[in-house]
């Protein structure tokens, strides 16, 4: 009888506990760390490594909804690094998302892939990043330092969150990482950092989000959607910490974003260029042999291209002098001139740095001045990589189709064009999820706090998405009065974190 009573009390007690307290305590456990010694550019220093912190109270997937936080040891003894203290150090928040796949948080060990980790899946026939592209250039030089270690050496606190992605499945067979899961997770991680601001060195009002490609897109979403109520029910469901989720600044490399307009932007750029190289080791024998678009694909390219001017003209974008940025029905006009000017500025920067530019016949150079660009010849040098539609594939074959699946459907269309021209029967995702994956819809909106500072980079030889995508985003930000800066680093293929000195100089310029 006595044991029954004790058992009864234990069960009631446990039930009350789990009812009253969240399953996982979201307060930062300052004592749960491992000391790590790091070397960067000849300097040795130590950090406290807090790894595998589950950052939500009701995780769906504990393999991915976890965060690594690294804090320079000096901040625990009142010291300064690079002029920062425990109270003022920025929090660098890199994600490793690539291909909209599930992503682990960054660690101290890896190369600066910026979302380009070696475990990357093929996306639309692409090789995993880090492998050799058909143009012979490795996606990332392998001799560079780790982004995380370099950031720590600068005195930043580094917090990197994992996130769910498009292939994840629960044990009941339901998909758990379709849109918007990945961005919801990253926002929950930001909430964790802000919730714990007082318990942790680093200033949670100075969070700088960073990512490359799909991870760059995620970084732009973190920056654009701060505190927007669209995400609230999803954040509640996973038990995100209470509080705000806006961030201070965004670093994004080749963000594969604005997915609902990316097909038309791609054909605006590549229409008429009918050979393509998907790239890399995926193609077994004819690695370098280009393929040719079919008649049907050429027709689709033409149709998509004509949709783009209507989209651009609907945005009411303005240049820095307040002049409208538009396109005529052929895709020419002031918006295209702006894209060309970005390419020219990039070539000028390379020339100023002493690079021999004589091999680029599409550039007009007179003396020390890049004076013009043959856009068509430049696009031809870039080479088309994707077949139309590049993102919402008619046969649902892209990673983006998979991103926009649902709990029970693996792949769906996400544009009107994709659904109308679909091969066979296929469903289309609810529009709200397309919206929630596109930062453009959240700029200057009420109940939303956009990041104040943006640094966007898209390599001048990166054809994973149109150059127009980053130009549109940057211009829309600038038109809202937000500090946004875009460059197309010369000759860079699809990659990120290749200019850490410049990136961190930008961070220091904002935070010091």
Binding mask of the shown chain, residues 373 to 402, with x at each position contacting ligand DHB by CB under 6 A: --------------------------x---
Of the listed pieces 69-77, 97-105, 279-287, 451-459, which binds ligand DHB according to CB under 6 A? 97-105
Question: Which residue is nearest to ligand DHB, using beta carbons?
Answer: 213
> Does 126 participate in binding ligand DHB (rule CB under 6 A)?
yes
Q: CB-wise, 133 or 194, nearer to ligand DHB?
A: 133
DSSP secondary structure string for all residues of 400-459: HHHHT--SS-S--B-SHHHHHT-SS---B--HHHHHHT-GGGGTT-TT-B--SEEEEE--
Helix (H, G, I), strand (E, B) or coil at 399: helix
Of 112, 29, 44, 110, give the one whose Cα is nearest residue 74.
44
Q: How far is the CB of 120 from ligand DHB (least distance, A)?
A: 7
DSSP secondary structure string for all residues of 257-294: --HHHHHHHHHHHHTT--EE---GGGSSS-TTPPEE--
Binding mask of the shown chain, residues 192 to 221, with x at each position contacting ligand DHB by CB under 6 A: ---------------------xx-------
Exactly one of 67, 81, 86, 123 binds ligand DHB (CB under 6 A); which one? 123
Of the listed pieces 64-72, 93-101, 232-240, 353-361, which binds ligand DHB according to CB under 6 A? 93-101
User: How many angstroms separate the Cα of 216 from the Cα of each of 201, 225, 233, 455, 495?
Assistant: 26, 14, 24, 11, 10
- Tokens 């945005």, residue? 315
Cross-strand pairs, 226: 449
> Does 124 participate in binding ligand DHB (rule CB under 6 A)?
yes
Q: CB-wise, 86 or 123, nearer to ligand DHB?
A: 123
Q: CB-wise, 216 or 226, nearer to ligand DHB?
A: 216
How far is residue 199 CA from its own chain's centroid? 28
b/e sequence 5-24, b meaning 16+ C-beta within 10 Å:
eeeeeeeeeeeeeeeeeeee
- Tokens 């989000």, residue? 209
Please tell me the count of residues contacting ligand DHB according to CB under 6 A: 13
Cα gap 139→460, rounded to integer Å:
14
> Does 68 participate in binding ligand DHB (rule CB under 6 A)?
no
Q: How far is the CB of 267 from ligand DHB (least distance, A)?
A: 15
Q: How far is the CB of 390 from ligand DHB (least distance, A)?
A: 7
Q: How far is the CB of 389 from ligand DHB (least distance, A)?
A: 11
Q: CB-wise, 90 or 279, nearer to ligand DHB?
A: 279
Q: CB-wise, 331 or 389, nearer to ligand DHB?
A: 389
- Tokens 């318990």, residue? 199
Q: CB-wise, 347 or 473, nearer to ligand DHB?
A: 473
Q: How far is the CB of 102 from ligand DHB (least distance, A)?
A: 12
Q: How far is the CB of 99 from ligand DHB (least distance, A)?
A: 4
Cα 70-75-80 angle, rounded to 5 deg? 120
> Does 256 participate in binding ligand DHB (rule CB under 6 A)?
yes
Binding mask of the shown chain, residues 100 to 119, with x at each position contacting ligand DHB by CB under 6 A: x--------------x----
> Does 185 participate in binding ligand DHB (rule CB under 6 A)?
no
By CB under 6 A, the residues from 397 to 456 that bind ligand DHB are 399
If phi > 0 it is left, if psi is from -120 to 50 it is alpha, else beta; for residue 69 that is beta
Q: How far is the CB of 175 from ligand DHB (least distance, A)?
A: 18
- Taken in order 298, 303, 309, 313, is the CA torsion positive or negative? negative
User: How many angstroms separate the Cα of 274 from the Cα of each of 243, 277, 309?
Assistant: 50, 10, 21
> Does 182 participate in binding ligand DHB (rule CB under 6 A)?
no
Exactly one of 245, 464, 487, 497 binds ligand DHB (CB under 6 A); which one? 464
Backbone angles phi, psi at 464, to 5 degrees: -75, -25
Q: How far is the CB of 129 from ligand DHB (least distance, A)?
A: 6
User: And the tokens for 367?
Assistant: 């003396």
Of the listed pieces 11-19, 120-128, 157-165, 297-305, which binds ligand DHB according to CB under 6 A? 120-128
> Does 95 participate in binding ligand DHB (rule CB under 6 A)?
no
b/e sequence 55-92, b meaning 16+ C-beta within 10 Å:
bbbebbbeebbbbbbbbbbbbeeeeebeebebebbbbb
Binding site for ligand DHB (CB under 6 A): 98-100, 115, 123-124, 126, 129, 213-214, 256, 399, 464
């Amino acid at each position: 009888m006595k044991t029954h009573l004790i058992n009864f009390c234990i069960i009631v007690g446990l039930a009350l506990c789990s009812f009253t307290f969240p399953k996982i305590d979201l307060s930062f456990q300052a004592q749960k760390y491992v000391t790590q010694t790091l070397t960067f550019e000849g300097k040795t220093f130590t950090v406290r490594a807090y790894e595998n912190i589950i950052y939500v109270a009701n995780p769906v997937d504990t393999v991915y909804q976890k965060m690594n936080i690294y804090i320079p040891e000096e901040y625990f003894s009142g010291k300064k690094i690079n002029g920062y203290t425990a109270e003022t150090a920025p929090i660098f928040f890199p994600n490793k998302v690539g291909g909209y796949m599930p992503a682990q948080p960054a660690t101290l060990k890896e190369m600066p892939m910026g979302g380009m980790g070696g475990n990357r899946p093929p996306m639309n026939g692409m090789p995993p990043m880090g492998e050799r592209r058909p143009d012979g250039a490795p996606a990332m030089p392998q001799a560079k330092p780790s982004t995380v270690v370099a950031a720590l050496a600068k005195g930043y606190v580094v917090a990197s969150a994992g996130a769910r992605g498009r292939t994840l499945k629960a044990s009941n067979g339901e998909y758990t990482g379709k849109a918007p899961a990945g961005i919801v997770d990253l926002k929950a991680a930001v909430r964790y950092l802000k919730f714990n601001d007082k318990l942790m060195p680093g200033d949670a009002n100075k969070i700088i989000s960073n990512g490359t490609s799909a991870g760059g897109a995620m970084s732009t979403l973190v920056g654009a959607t701060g505190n927007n109520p669209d995400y609230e029910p999803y954040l509640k469901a996973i038990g995100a910490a209470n509080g705000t989720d806006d961030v201070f600044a965004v670093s994004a490399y080749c963000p594969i974003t604005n997915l609902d307009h990316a097909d038309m932007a791609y054909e605006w750029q590549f229409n008429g260029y009918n050979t393509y190289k998907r790239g890399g080791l995926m193609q077994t024998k004819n690695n370098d042999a280009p393929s040719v678009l079919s008649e049907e694909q050429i027709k689709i390219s033409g149709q998509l291209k004509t949709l783009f001017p209507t989209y651009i003209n609907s945005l009411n974008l303005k240049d820095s002098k307040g002049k409208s940025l538009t396109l005529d029905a052929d895709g020419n006009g002031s918006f295209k001139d702006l894209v060309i000017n970005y390419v020219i500025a990039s070539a000028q920067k390379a020339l100023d740095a002493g690079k021999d530019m004589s091999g680029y016949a599409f550039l007009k150079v007179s003396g020390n001045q890049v004076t013009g660009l043959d856009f068509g010849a430049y696009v031809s040098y870039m080479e088309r990589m994707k077949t139309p539609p590049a993102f919402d594939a008619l046969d649902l074959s892209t990673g983006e189709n998979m991103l926009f699946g649902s709990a029970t459907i693996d792949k769906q269309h996400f544009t009107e064009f994709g659904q109308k021209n679909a091969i066979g029967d296929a469903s289309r995702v609810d529009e709200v999820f397309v919206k929630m994956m596109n930062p453009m819809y959240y700029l200057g909106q009420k109940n939303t706090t956009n990041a104040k500072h943006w640094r966007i980079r898209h390599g001048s030889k990166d054809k994973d998405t149109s150059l127009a995508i980053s130009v549109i985003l940057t211009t829309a930000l600038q038109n809202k009065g937000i500090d946004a800066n875009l460059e197309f680093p010369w000759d860079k293929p699809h990659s990120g974190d290749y200019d850490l000195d410049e990136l961190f100089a930008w961070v220091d310029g904002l935070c010091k």
